[in-house]
Amino acid sequence: AQTIHQWPVAEIKAVGSPLSLGCTIKGKSSPNLYWYWQATGGTLQQLFYSITVGQVESVVQLNLSASRPKDDQFILSTEKLLLSHSGFYLCAWSLGDWGGDAEQFFGPGTRLTVL
């Protein structure tokens, strides 16, 4: 069975500090991967997507970057956190048709608080 794991579960970071969030998909070969951001009580905003190792496309610029170093791994990072980065970060995967035309399966998320 496929599983999606995100780490860490939660982070409290200072403004200006670096950040790295991770996502791993097990049990699926060559999934399409996505990063989403959700403000507390808000909707989801897609940030990045990747259909293959080493290739990442940006949807929204929020002073964040993403990388896909392995087929089953997706990393979200920034060198300097802003207060506006606080929220819930979600990783998702799909197979076949990519983007919104495919069923996407979300991970448990990482709660980020920037102080």
Partner 1 sequence: SQLAEENSWALSVHEGESVTVNCSYKTSITALQWYRQKSGKGPAQLILIRSNEREKRNGRLRATLDTSSQSSSLSITATRCEDTAVYFCASSNSGTYQRFGTGTKLQVVP
Residues near partner 1 (CB under 8 A) are: 42-46, 49, 59, 90, 92, 97-109
Do residues 88 and 38 touch, judged by C-beta distance below 8 A?
yes
How buried is residue 18: exposed, middle or buried, by Cβ count under 10 Å (0-12/13-18/19+)?
A: exposed
Question: C-beta of 109: minimal distance to partner 1 in Å?
Answer: 5
Nearer to partner 1, 19 or 36 (CB): 36
In angstroms, the CA 48 to CA 17 distance is 21
Residue 111: helix, strand or coil by DSSP? strand
Q: Which is nearer to partner 1, 45 or 65 (CB)?
A: 45
We find the least distance from the C-beta atom of residue 21 to partner 1, in angstroms, to be: 13
Q: How far is the CB of 26 from partner 1 (least distance, A)?
A: 16
